[in-house]
Each structure stands twice: as structure tokens, then as C-alpha cells.
Amino acid sequence: MKKSSLILVLAVSLLCGINLSPGPLLAAVIDIPEIDADALKFELYHGAPMVLANALSPIEFKDLTIKGSVNIPSSRVKGNSNLPKDQNELLVFFCKGPG
């Protein structure tokens, strides 16, 4: 897997509470910018096209998710058909939050 691919996969893993070893890749993942709830709500419902990705399992996604989100489980990021076609489009990941 290319380093760039690995960073996105690790970013989702980290967001969802998976423990990673310290190192340069972890540092790259931590650098992924955050978006807060209000800004996300605006972008999602009133902004330009974007993809909001729920990184939980398909079962958890069907049980409850943010309206307008799609499912990209953390183990199935690479090549997922729910990823935006336009690579410049805003792509936001979320899961169950901290703790």
C-alpha cells in the first residue's frame, strides 16, 4: 500500500479509536484537520457537494447515522465506491467519537 493510501486508512482507524504505534505516519494522521458540528451541518445541507463518511460497520450504520452520510467502514476505505469521484471534493469521516 502506498504511504498516501495508508495515511487515509490510518486516519479513519485512529478516529475510530484504534490504537496506532507512534511514528511519522501517526503524526501525519493527527495532522488531518477537524471540522466542528455546526460547520459540518452547514456544508452537508447547504454547501457544495461533499461526502460525509460513517466509518462504522454496515450494521451500526443502518442502526443509526447522520442524515446524508454514506457508509465507508474503516476496514474498507481503499477503493470504496462511496468515496467521492472528484478528489478535490470535501470528504469528512466520523464514527462514535472519543471514548
Decide: is 42 part of the binding site for another protein (CB under 8 A): no
Min dist. Cβ of residue 89 to another protein (A): 7
Which grid cell sits at 50? 461533499
Using the rule CB under 8 A, is 72 a contact of another protein? no
Q: Which of 26, 64, 81, 82 binds another protein (CB under 8 A)?
A: 64
Question: What are the distances in angstroms from CA 39 to CA 9, 33, 34, 67?
Answer: 24, 13, 10, 15
User: How far is residue 74's CA from residue 80's CA, in Å, rounded to a whole number?
Assistant: 10
When asked if residue 66 is in the footprint of another protein (CB under 8 A), the reply is yes
Size of the chain in residues: 99
Q: How far is the CB of 56 from another protein (least distance, A)?
A: 8
Does residue 52 come out as left (phi exceeding 0), alpha (psi in the -120 to 50 range) or beta? Answer: beta
Contact residues for another protein, defined by CB under 8 A:
4-5, 7-8, 11, 15, 18-19, 32-37, 40-41, 52, 54, 56-68, 73-78, 83-84, 87-98
